[in-house]
Amino acid sequence: MPAEATPLGYRARPTKVLLEVAGLRKHFPHGDAPAVERVGFSLGEGEMLALLGPSGCGKTTTLRMIGGFEVPDAGTISLRGRDITRLPPEARGIGFVFQDYALFPHLDVLENVRFGLRKMSRAEGEARAREMLALVGLSGLERRRPHELSGGQQQRVALARTLAVAPPLVLMDEPFSNLDAAMRVETRQEVRKLLKSSGSAGILVTHDQEEALAIADRIAVMEAGRVVQIGTPDEIYLNPVSEFVASFLGRSNILRGTANGMRVDTSFGTLPLSRAANGAVNLAVRPEQIMLEPDAEGPASVVGREFRGHDQLYWVQEGERCMLVISGPGANIEIGARVRLRICDCVVPLV
Protein backbone atom coordinates (compact mmCIF):
# COMPACT_ATOMS: atom_id res chain seq x y z
CA MET A 1 0.00 0.00 0.00
CA PRO A 2 1.40 3.48 -0.88
CA ALA A 3 2.66 5.50 2.06
CA GLU A 4 0.04 8.20 1.53
CA ALA A 5 -2.95 5.84 1.48
CA THR A 6 -4.83 4.13 4.29
CA PRO A 7 -7.66 1.57 4.27
CA LEU A 8 -10.15 4.42 4.80
CA GLY A 9 -8.89 6.35 1.79
CA TYR A 10 -7.34 9.13 3.89
CA ARG A 11 -3.78 10.24 3.24
CA ALA A 12 -1.68 9.23 6.25
CA ARG A 13 -0.21 12.09 8.27
CA PRO A 14 3.58 12.37 8.26
CA THR A 15 5.15 11.69 11.63
CA LYS A 16 7.80 14.42 11.38
CA VAL A 17 6.65 18.04 11.72
CA LEU A 18 8.12 20.50 9.21
CA LEU A 19 6.24 23.74 9.93
CA GLU A 20 4.57 25.04 13.10
CA VAL A 21 2.33 28.11 12.91
CA ALA A 22 0.97 29.38 16.25
CA GLY A 23 -1.32 32.31 17.11
CA LEU A 24 -0.75 34.31 13.92
CA ARG A 25 -2.45 37.70 13.89
CA LYS A 26 -2.39 40.50 11.32
CA HIS A 27 -4.38 43.74 11.37
CA PHE A 28 -4.01 46.19 8.50
CA PRO A 29 -4.36 49.92 9.34
CA HIS A 30 -7.52 50.51 7.29
CA GLY A 31 -9.33 47.31 8.27
CA ASP A 32 -12.13 47.16 10.82
CA ALA A 33 -11.22 43.65 11.94
CA PRO A 34 -7.96 41.66 11.86
CA ALA A 35 -7.24 40.05 8.48
CA VAL A 36 -5.88 37.02 10.36
CA GLU A 37 -6.74 36.18 13.97
CA ARG A 38 -5.11 33.42 16.06
CA VAL A 39 -4.33 31.09 13.15
CA GLY A 40 -2.36 27.99 14.04
CA PHE A 41 -1.60 24.62 12.45
CA SER A 42 1.24 22.21 11.81
CA LEU A 43 2.50 20.74 8.55
CA GLY A 44 4.36 17.46 8.17
CA GLU A 45 7.33 16.69 5.94
CA GLY A 46 6.09 16.17 2.39
CA GLU A 47 2.48 17.03 3.27
CA MET A 48 0.10 19.07 1.08
CA LEU A 49 -2.18 21.53 2.89
CA ALA A 50 -4.84 23.68 1.22
CA LEU A 51 -5.94 26.97 2.80
CA LEU A 52 -9.51 27.18 1.53
CA GLY A 53 -11.99 30.00 1.90
CA PRO A 54 -13.79 32.90 0.21
CA SER A 55 -12.10 36.14 -0.85
CA GLY A 56 -11.06 38.23 2.13
CA CYS A 57 -10.96 35.35 4.65
CA GLY A 58 -7.21 35.79 5.38
CA LYS A 59 -5.76 32.82 3.50
CA THR A 60 -3.36 34.82 1.28
CA THR A 61 -2.27 37.00 4.22
CA THR A 62 -1.51 33.82 6.18
CA LEU A 63 0.54 32.48 3.28
CA ARG A 64 2.43 35.78 2.92
CA MET A 65 3.32 35.76 6.62
CA ILE A 66 4.69 32.22 6.30
CA GLY A 67 6.70 33.31 3.25
CA GLY A 68 8.04 36.44 4.97
CA PHE A 69 6.25 38.96 2.74
CA GLU A 70 4.13 40.22 5.66
CA VAL A 71 5.23 40.60 9.28
CA PRO A 72 2.69 39.25 11.80
CA ASP A 73 1.49 41.44 14.66
CA ALA A 74 1.55 38.39 16.92
CA GLY A 75 2.32 34.70 16.74
CA THR A 76 5.25 32.53 15.66
CA ILE A 77 6.34 30.55 12.60
CA SER A 78 8.86 27.73 12.99
CA LEU A 79 10.45 25.69 10.20
CA ARG A 80 12.13 22.46 11.36
CA GLY A 81 12.21 23.85 14.89
CA ARG A 82 13.85 27.16 13.87
CA ASP A 83 11.95 30.39 14.53
CA ILE A 84 11.67 32.21 11.19
CA THR A 85 8.94 34.69 12.20
CA ARG A 86 11.09 37.79 11.63
CA LEU A 87 13.40 36.52 8.90
CA PRO A 88 13.24 38.06 5.39
CA PRO A 89 11.90 35.80 2.59
CA GLU A 90 15.35 35.06 1.13
CA ALA A 91 16.62 33.75 4.50
CA ARG A 92 13.79 31.22 5.03
CA GLY A 93 14.64 28.61 2.41
CA ILE A 94 11.00 28.47 1.28
CA GLY A 95 9.90 28.24 -2.35
CA PHE A 96 7.09 30.37 -3.73
CA VAL A 97 5.02 29.86 -6.92
CA PHE A 98 3.28 33.10 -7.86
CA GLN A 99 -0.12 33.41 -9.52
CA ASP A 100 1.42 34.94 -12.65
CA TYR A 101 4.45 32.55 -12.51
CA ALA A 102 6.89 35.54 -12.49
CA LEU A 103 9.04 34.15 -15.31
CA PHE A 104 11.66 36.41 -16.89
CA PRO A 105 10.43 37.13 -20.45
CA HIS A 106 13.95 37.88 -21.78
CA LEU A 107 15.37 34.54 -20.57
CA ASP A 108 14.75 31.16 -22.14
CA VAL A 109 13.29 28.24 -20.19
CA LEU A 110 16.66 26.83 -19.15
CA GLU A 111 17.94 30.18 -17.90
CA ASN A 112 14.70 30.82 -16.00
CA VAL A 113 15.12 27.55 -14.12
CA ARG A 114 18.87 28.15 -13.59
CA PHE A 115 18.27 31.63 -12.17
CA GLY A 116 18.00 30.45 -8.56
CA LEU A 117 21.14 28.30 -8.87
CA ARG A 118 23.66 31.12 -9.30
CA LYS A 119 25.78 29.82 -6.42
CA MET A 120 26.57 26.76 -8.54
CA SER A 121 29.00 26.80 -11.41
CA ARG A 122 27.37 27.36 -14.80
CA ALA A 123 27.85 23.70 -15.75
CA GLU A 124 26.38 22.44 -12.43
CA GLY A 125 23.50 24.90 -12.65
CA GLU A 126 22.64 23.89 -16.20
CA ALA A 127 22.78 20.20 -15.30
CA ARG A 128 20.44 20.75 -12.34
CA ALA A 129 18.09 22.88 -14.46
CA ARG A 130 17.92 20.19 -17.16
CA GLU A 131 17.23 17.58 -14.50
CA MET A 132 14.30 19.61 -13.17
CA LEU A 133 12.92 20.26 -16.66
CA ALA A 134 12.99 16.53 -17.28
CA LEU A 135 11.14 16.00 -13.99
CA VAL A 136 8.33 18.36 -15.08
CA GLY A 137 8.20 16.89 -18.60
CA LEU A 138 9.68 19.86 -20.50
CA SER A 139 12.87 18.35 -21.92
CA GLY A 140 13.44 19.71 -25.42
CA LEU A 141 11.91 23.12 -24.65
CA GLU A 142 15.01 24.57 -22.96
CA ARG A 143 15.58 27.33 -25.54
CA ARG A 144 12.02 28.57 -25.80
CA ARG A 145 10.97 31.87 -24.26
CA PRO A 146 8.03 32.01 -21.83
CA HIS A 147 5.69 33.59 -24.41
CA GLU A 148 6.21 30.56 -26.66
CA LEU A 149 4.76 28.21 -24.02
CA SER A 150 1.20 27.35 -23.03
CA GLY A 151 -0.11 28.43 -19.63
CA GLY A 152 0.35 24.92 -18.24
CA GLN A 153 3.94 24.76 -19.52
CA GLN A 154 4.74 28.15 -17.96
CA GLN A 155 3.35 26.91 -14.67
CA ARG A 156 5.62 23.86 -14.81
CA VAL A 157 8.65 26.04 -15.59
CA ALA A 158 7.85 28.13 -12.51
CA LEU A 159 7.56 24.98 -10.42
CA ALA A 160 10.82 23.56 -11.83
CA ARG A 161 12.61 26.81 -10.93
CA THR A 162 11.22 26.60 -7.39
CA LEU A 163 12.05 22.91 -6.90
CA ALA A 164 15.55 23.29 -8.36
CA VAL A 165 16.84 24.71 -5.07
CA ALA A 166 15.26 21.78 -3.16
CA PRO A 167 13.13 23.79 -0.70
CA PRO A 168 11.51 21.83 2.12
CA LEU A 169 8.32 23.87 1.63
CA VAL A 170 6.63 25.40 -1.43
CA LEU A 171 3.95 28.09 -1.06
CA MET A 172 1.42 28.48 -3.88
CA ASP A 173 -1.11 31.31 -4.16
CA GLU A 174 -3.95 30.41 -6.59
CA PRO A 175 -1.36 28.93 -9.02
CA PHE A 176 -3.94 27.45 -11.41
CA SER A 177 -6.30 30.43 -11.73
CA ASN A 178 -4.91 31.52 -15.12
CA LEU A 179 -5.50 28.11 -16.72
CA ASP A 180 -8.64 26.91 -18.48
CA ALA A 181 -10.81 24.28 -16.77
CA ALA A 182 -9.35 21.22 -18.51
CA MET A 183 -5.76 22.41 -18.02
CA ARG A 184 -6.40 23.10 -14.31
CA VAL A 185 -7.45 19.50 -13.71
CA GLU A 186 -4.40 18.11 -15.52
CA THR A 187 -1.89 20.55 -14.06
CA ARG A 188 -2.93 20.28 -10.42
CA GLN A 189 -2.41 16.51 -10.50
CA GLU A 190 1.01 17.03 -12.09
CA VAL A 191 1.93 19.52 -9.38
CA ARG A 192 0.86 17.14 -6.61
CA LYS A 193 2.86 14.32 -8.20
CA LEU A 194 5.94 16.53 -8.62
CA LEU A 195 5.88 17.77 -5.04
CA LYS A 196 5.44 14.23 -3.73
CA SER A 197 8.32 12.92 -5.88
CA SER A 198 10.61 15.79 -4.83
CA GLY A 199 9.81 15.40 -1.13
CA SER A 200 8.79 19.05 -0.73
CA ALA A 201 5.76 19.95 1.37
CA GLY A 202 3.28 22.42 -0.05
CA ILE A 203 0.71 24.97 1.09
CA LEU A 204 -1.87 25.93 -1.52
CA VAL A 205 -4.16 28.94 -1.24
CA THR A 206 -7.40 28.47 -3.15
CA HIS A 207 -11.08 29.42 -3.14
CA ASP A 208 -11.85 26.43 -5.38
CA GLN A 209 -13.31 23.58 -3.30
CA GLU A 210 -12.79 20.98 -6.05
CA GLU A 211 -9.13 21.97 -6.30
CA ALA A 212 -8.65 21.65 -2.54
CA LEU A 213 -10.33 18.24 -2.43
CA ALA A 214 -8.22 16.99 -5.35
CA ILE A 215 -4.74 18.12 -4.35
CA ALA A 216 -4.57 18.34 -0.56
CA ASP A 217 -3.74 15.78 2.12
CA ARG A 218 -5.48 18.12 4.56
CA ILE A 219 -7.65 21.21 4.19
CA ALA A 220 -7.81 24.20 6.53
CA VAL A 221 -11.11 26.02 5.96
CA MET A 222 -10.88 29.73 6.80
CA GLU A 223 -13.64 32.18 7.63
CA ALA A 224 -13.21 35.82 8.68
CA GLY A 225 -9.51 35.45 9.45
CA ARG A 226 -9.75 32.20 11.41
CA VAL A 227 -9.26 28.50 10.71
CA VAL A 228 -12.70 27.05 11.51
CA GLN A 229 -11.95 23.42 10.62
CA ILE A 230 -8.89 21.43 9.58
CA GLY A 231 -8.76 17.80 8.51
CA THR A 232 -8.52 15.42 5.59
CA PRO A 233 -10.80 16.12 2.60
CA ASP A 234 -12.89 13.08 3.61
CA GLU A 235 -13.28 14.24 7.21
CA ILE A 236 -14.29 17.80 6.35
CA TYR A 237 -16.69 16.86 3.56
CA LEU A 238 -18.41 14.11 5.53
CA ASN A 239 -18.35 15.85 8.95
CA PRO A 240 -18.45 19.64 8.59
CA VAL A 241 -18.54 21.39 11.97
CA SER A 242 -20.59 24.43 10.94
CA GLU A 243 -23.13 25.65 8.41
CA PHE A 244 -20.41 27.76 6.77
CA VAL A 245 -18.12 24.75 6.22
CA ALA A 246 -21.02 22.55 5.05
CA SER A 247 -22.09 25.15 2.50
CA PHE A 248 -18.64 26.25 1.33
CA LEU A 249 -17.08 22.81 0.87
CA GLY A 250 -19.65 21.28 -1.44
CA ARG A 251 -23.36 22.00 -1.38
CA SER A 252 -25.54 21.20 1.60
CA ASN A 253 -29.18 21.39 2.58
CA ILE A 254 -29.65 22.75 6.10
CA LEU A 255 -32.49 21.21 8.11
CA ARG A 256 -33.78 21.70 11.63
CA GLY A 257 -34.34 18.89 14.08
CA THR A 258 -34.42 17.72 17.70
CA ALA A 259 -31.59 15.37 18.59
CA ASN A 260 -31.49 12.63 21.19
CA GLY A 261 -28.09 10.94 21.23
CA MET A 262 -27.47 9.31 17.84
CA ARG A 263 -30.99 9.99 16.46
CA VAL A 264 -32.76 13.17 15.37
CA ASP A 265 -36.43 13.91 14.72
CA THR A 266 -37.02 15.95 11.54
CA SER A 267 -39.80 16.72 9.08
CA PHE A 268 -38.42 13.73 7.12
CA GLY A 269 -38.91 11.44 10.09
CA THR A 270 -36.36 10.09 12.58
CA LEU A 271 -32.87 9.92 11.07
CA PRO A 272 -29.48 8.61 12.26
CA LEU A 273 -26.80 11.14 13.23
CA SER A 274 -23.12 10.96 12.31
CA ARG A 275 -22.20 12.01 15.86
CA ALA A 276 -24.13 12.36 19.10
CA ALA A 277 -26.09 15.54 19.86
CA ASN A 278 -28.97 16.62 22.07
CA GLY A 279 -31.69 19.25 21.79
CA ALA A 280 -32.45 21.59 18.88
CA VAL A 281 -29.86 21.25 16.11
CA ASN A 282 -29.17 22.35 12.58
CA LEU A 283 -28.34 19.49 10.24
CA ALA A 284 -26.26 19.23 7.06
CA VAL A 285 -27.63 16.95 4.35
CA ARG A 286 -25.61 16.59 1.15
CA PRO A 287 -27.62 16.56 -2.12
CA GLU A 288 -26.35 13.06 -2.94
CA GLN A 289 -27.82 11.75 0.34
CA ILE A 290 -31.39 12.37 -0.86
CA MET A 291 -33.43 10.03 -3.04
CA LEU A 292 -36.08 11.38 -5.41
CA GLU A 293 -39.13 9.13 -5.75
CA PRO A 294 -41.64 10.08 -8.48
CA ASP A 295 -45.14 10.14 -6.98
CA ALA A 296 -48.15 11.85 -8.53
CA GLU A 297 -49.46 12.50 -4.99
CA GLY A 298 -46.05 13.53 -3.61
CA PRO A 299 -45.75 16.64 -1.40
CA ALA A 300 -42.85 18.15 -3.40
CA SER A 301 -42.29 19.23 -6.99
CA VAL A 302 -39.22 19.56 -9.22
CA VAL A 303 -38.70 23.26 -10.01
CA GLY A 304 -35.26 23.10 -11.65
CA ARG A 305 -32.96 20.58 -13.31
CA GLU A 306 -29.34 20.75 -14.47
CA PHE A 307 -27.84 17.91 -16.49
CA ARG A 308 -24.09 17.66 -15.77
CA GLY A 309 -23.10 14.52 -17.66
CA HIS A 310 -21.99 12.35 -14.73
CA ASP A 311 -25.07 13.31 -12.69
CA GLN A 312 -28.10 15.57 -12.53
CA LEU A 313 -28.81 18.35 -10.03
CA TYR A 314 -32.44 18.99 -9.10
CA TRP A 315 -34.08 21.83 -7.22
CA VAL A 316 -37.10 20.44 -5.37
CA GLN A 317 -39.71 22.64 -3.67
CA GLU A 318 -41.62 21.31 -0.68
CA GLY A 319 -43.71 23.99 0.96
CA GLU A 320 -41.45 26.95 1.68
CA ARG A 321 -38.31 24.82 1.57
CA CYS A 322 -36.18 24.26 -1.56
CA MET A 323 -33.87 21.23 -1.48
CA LEU A 324 -30.92 20.35 -3.71
CA VAL A 325 -30.81 16.73 -4.86
CA ILE A 326 -28.15 14.93 -6.94
CA SER A 327 -29.17 11.85 -8.91
CA GLY A 328 -27.49 9.66 -11.50
CA PRO A 329 -27.42 10.67 -15.19
CA GLY A 330 -30.24 8.26 -16.03
CA ALA A 331 -32.73 9.68 -13.51
CA ASN A 332 -34.83 11.73 -15.92
CA ILE A 333 -37.44 13.55 -13.86
CA GLU A 334 -39.03 16.46 -15.65
CA ILE A 335 -39.54 19.94 -14.23
CA GLY A 336 -43.00 20.12 -12.69
CA ALA A 337 -43.11 16.44 -11.69
CA ARG A 338 -44.44 15.58 -8.23
CA VAL A 339 -42.03 13.63 -6.02
CA ARG A 340 -41.26 12.42 -2.53
CA LEU A 341 -37.90 13.00 -0.84
CA ARG A 342 -36.17 10.32 1.21
CA ILE A 343 -32.92 10.84 3.14
CA CYS A 344 -30.90 7.62 2.97
CA ASP A 345 -27.81 8.26 5.13
CA CYS A 346 -26.62 9.72 8.42
CA VAL A 347 -27.05 13.48 8.77
CA VAL A 348 -24.49 15.77 10.39
CA PRO A 349 -25.31 17.97 13.42
CA LEU A 350 -23.73 21.42 13.12
CA VAL A 351 -22.28 23.66 15.81
pLDDT tens profile 225-248: 999 999 999 999 999 999 999 999
Do 86 and 193 have their domain in common?
yes
Q: Tell me which residue of 63, 90, 10 sits closest to 206, measured CA to CA.
A: 63
Domain containing 171 — which CATH number?
3.40.50.300
Tell me the per-residue pLDDT of 55-72, one tens digit each, with 9 for 90 and over: 999 999 999 999 999 999
199 and 264 share one domain: no
In this prediction, residue 10 has a pLDDT band, given cuts at 50, 70 and 90, of very low
pLDDT in tens, 87-124: 999 899 899 887 777 889 999 999 999 987 888 888 99
Residues 76 and 178 in one domain: yes
pLDDT for 278: 95
Separation CA 123–CA 342 (nearest Å):
68
Q: Mean pLDDT, the chain, as a whole number?
A: 89
pLDDT at 3: 39
Mean pLDDT of 144-155: 89
235 within some domain: yes
Nearest to residue 3, comparing CAs of 47, 50, 41, 42?
A: 47
**pTM over the 0.75 mark:** yes
126 lies in some domain: no
Q: Are residues 174 and 189 in the same domain?
A: yes
Give pLDDT, residue 347: 92
pLDDT at position 317: 95
Cβ atoms of 22 and 81 within 8 Å: the answer is no
Q: What is the mean pLDDT of residues 321-334?
A: 89
pLDDT of 100 reads: 74
Q: Which of 244, 266, 282 is the last residue of a domain?
A: 244
CA 131 to chain centre: 29
Whether residue 103 contacts residue 163, with contact meaning beta carbons closer than 8 Å, is answered with no
Q: Are residues 87 and 205 in the same domain?
A: yes
User: Are 22 and 73 found together in one domain?
Assistant: yes
Whether 79 and 191 share a structural domain:
yes
Q: Which domain holds residue 277?
A: 251-350
Q: What is the 3-class SS of the chain, one letter each residue?
A: CCCCCCCCCCCCCCCCEEEEEEEEEECCCCCCCCCEEEEEEEEECCCEEEEECCCCCCHHHHHHHHHCCCCCCEEEEEECCEECCCCCHHHCCCEEECCCCCCCCCCCHHHHHHHHHCCCCHHHHHHHHHHHHHHCCCCCCCCCCHHHCCHHHHHHHHHHHHHHCCCCEEEEECCCCCCCHHHHHHHHHHHHHHHHHHCCEEEEEECCHHHHHHHCCEEEEEECCEEEEEECHHHHHHCCCCHHHHHHCCCCEEEEEEEEEEEEEECCEEEEEEEEEEEEEEEEECHHHEEEEECCCCCEEEEEEEECCCCEEEEEEECCEEEEEEECCCCCCCCCCEEEEEECCCEEEEC
- Give Cβ neighbours of residue 52 (< 8 Å, ≥ 6 apart): 59, 206, 207, 209, 212, 219, 220, 221, 222, 248, 249
Q: Does residue 7 have a pLDDT over 60?
A: no
Cβ atoms of residues 242 and 229 within 8 Å: yes
Are residues 83 and 172 located together in one domain of the fold? yes
* CA 326 distance to own-chain centroid: 22
Give the C-alpha separation, 22 to 89, whole Å: 19
CATH value at residue 338: 2.40.50.140
Kindly report the backbone phi and psi dihedral angles of residue 88, in degrees, each rounded to the nearest multiple of 5, phi listed first: -70, 160
The sign of the dihedral angle between the CA atoms of 191, 192, 197, 202 is positive
Where is the domain boundary, 244, 270, 297?
A: 244
Residue pair 71/59 in contact (Cβ under 8 Å)? The answer is no
